């Protein structure tokens, strides 16, 4: 199993996840996001945490389990807290 996929993703309050056979949808106060799931990753929702595991022991399945876990963790962060990027413009031409 991927080292990243070993850690479950916690769902904050006000956020819910819906897992179907081919996609996972995360809904929160800032919107909803959907990610397609490959058949190589087993995703389970247990009492506010999402766990990920590779269905077989192939290298590709292990890599995909870590990738899907990272994507879903970013989705949960995006719909609950949102992303913010501050841009600092420096220079004469940007005044």
What length does the chain have? 95
Domains of the chain: 9-94 (3.90.930.12)
Per-residue pLDDT tens digits for 2-57: 788 999 999 999 999 999 989 999 999 999 999 999 889 999 999 999 999 999 99
Question: Taking the CA of residue 32 as centre, how many other CA atoms within 13 Å lie in the half-sphere pointing to its CB?
Answer: 9
Is residue 45 classed as helix, strand or coil in its secondary structure?
Answer: strand
pLDDT tens digit sequence for 51-94? 999 999 999 999 999 999 999 999 999 999 999 999 988 777 76
Triad 87, 88, 91: Cα angle to 5°: 135
Tell me how far apart the alpha carbons of residues 24 and 8 are, in angstroms, rounded to a whole number: 15
């Amino acid at each position: 199993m991927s080292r990243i996929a070993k850690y479950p993703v916690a769902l904050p309050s006000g956020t819910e996840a819906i897992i179907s056979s081919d996609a996972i949808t995360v809904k929160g106060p800032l919107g909803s996001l959907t990610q397609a799931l490959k058949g190589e990753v087993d995703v389970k929702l247990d009492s506010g945490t999402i766990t990920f595991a590779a269905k077989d022991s192939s290298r590709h399945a292990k890599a995909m389990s870590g990738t899907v876990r990272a994507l879903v963790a970013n989705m949960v962060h995006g719909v609950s807290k949102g992303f913010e990027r501050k841009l600092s413009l420096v220079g004469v031409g940007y005044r």
